[in-house]
């Protein structure tokens, strides 16, 4: 496919997918749950647990009482003591809720992110600031928690995709029938591609991506290619690419 043909395909998909009908139980996506609450902390929980089977993700998220973010820590520990998801034990789920509760009591996640982002409009600097704040708010060391929350990358050359965080930032910075646009301090032109297996494979198959490793360098490479299609909003193509792969249309 030529770049012109790829752009025509993706533009058509973006237009077709830009509807709330894409978010439903028949087409499970964690954004379906996040949309119901329109809250930055709840949306982050939805994004961080967005790995594994989509139906199981939705089932787990619907089992959570997000009002616990407004309760005291003893109540959080008590009511989440039986909740676990794949690599996360109950203490990992509890740790995330308490960390976000403590942060929301003192500062918004947007402002925490903005501290790192504002210096050079660098999305990853903002992301490192956010991850560091979560970890410092409630220190927890376990395999499940480290997998869930992550740590700031020391080198981009060895960094994973941080797909769940970059997806969250898409939800926060963009506003359309899918994304919530709850934040105003991030320019959507600075977003990076939330690269997962579906988008990685589709992008390579149609000729958008040459890199063979699904990592941060690939996410940046794909973002740069998509900027040629829309410099002001390159990540608008994310959901379309994801669905093309998920539904095996390419």
Give CA–CA dist 89/142, Å, rounded: 9
Determine the 3-state secondary structure of 180 from DSSP: strand
pTM: 0.96
Model confidence over 105-146: pLDDT tens digits?
999 999 999 999 998 889 999 999 999 999 999 999 999 999
Distances (CA, A) of 191 to 4, 166, 194, 195, 236: 23, 8, 9, 12, 10
- Compare 190 and 242 and report the one with higher pLDDT: 190
* pLDDT of 158 above 80: no
Phi, psi torsion values for 175, nearest 5 degrees: -135, 115
Range with the lowest mean pLDDT among 28-32, 67-71, 224-228, 241-245? 241-245
Backbone angles phi, psi at 195, to 5 degrees: -80, 120
Backbone angles phi and psi of 49, in degrees to 5: -90, 10
88 DSSP assignment: B
pLDDT tens per residue across span 177-192: 999 999 999 999 999 9
Confidence of residue 93 (pLDDT cuts 50, 70, 90): very high
pLDDT of residue 247: 84
Q: Using alpha carbons only, give the angle 198, 160, 135 rounded to the nearest 5 degrees.
A: 120
């Amino acid at each position: 496919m030529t770049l012109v043909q790829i752009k025509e395909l993706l533009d058509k998909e973006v237009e077709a997918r830009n509807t709330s009908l894409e978010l439903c139980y028949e087409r499970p996506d964690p954004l379906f749950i996040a949309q119901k609450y329109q809250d930055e902390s709840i949306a982050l929980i939805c994004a961080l647990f967005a790995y594994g089977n989509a139906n199981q993700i939705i089932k787990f998220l619907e089992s959570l009482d997000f009002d616990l973010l407004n309760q005291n820590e003893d109540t959080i520990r008590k009511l989440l003591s039986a909740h676990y998801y794949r690599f996360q034990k109950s203490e990992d789920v509890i740790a995330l809720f308490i960390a976000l509760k403590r942060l929301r009591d003192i500062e918004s996640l947007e402002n925490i992110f903005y501290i790192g982002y504002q210096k050079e409009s660098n999305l990853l600097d903002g992301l490192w600031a956010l991850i560091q704040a979560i970890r410092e708010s409630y220190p927890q060391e376990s395999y499940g928690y480290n997998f869930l929350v992550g740590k700031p990358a020391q080198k981009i050359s060895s960094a994973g995709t941080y797909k769940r965080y970059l997806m969250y930032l898409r939800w926060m910075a963009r506003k359309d029938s899918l994304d919530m646009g709850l934040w105003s301090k991030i320019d959507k032109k600075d977003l990076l591609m939330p690269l997962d297996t579906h988008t990685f494979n589709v992008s390579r198959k149609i000729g958008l991506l040459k890199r063979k490793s699904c990592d941060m360098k690939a996410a940046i490479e794909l973002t740069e290619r998509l900027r040629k299609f829309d410099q002001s909003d390159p990540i608008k193509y994310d959901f379309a690419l994801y669905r093309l792969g998920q539904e095996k249309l390419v």
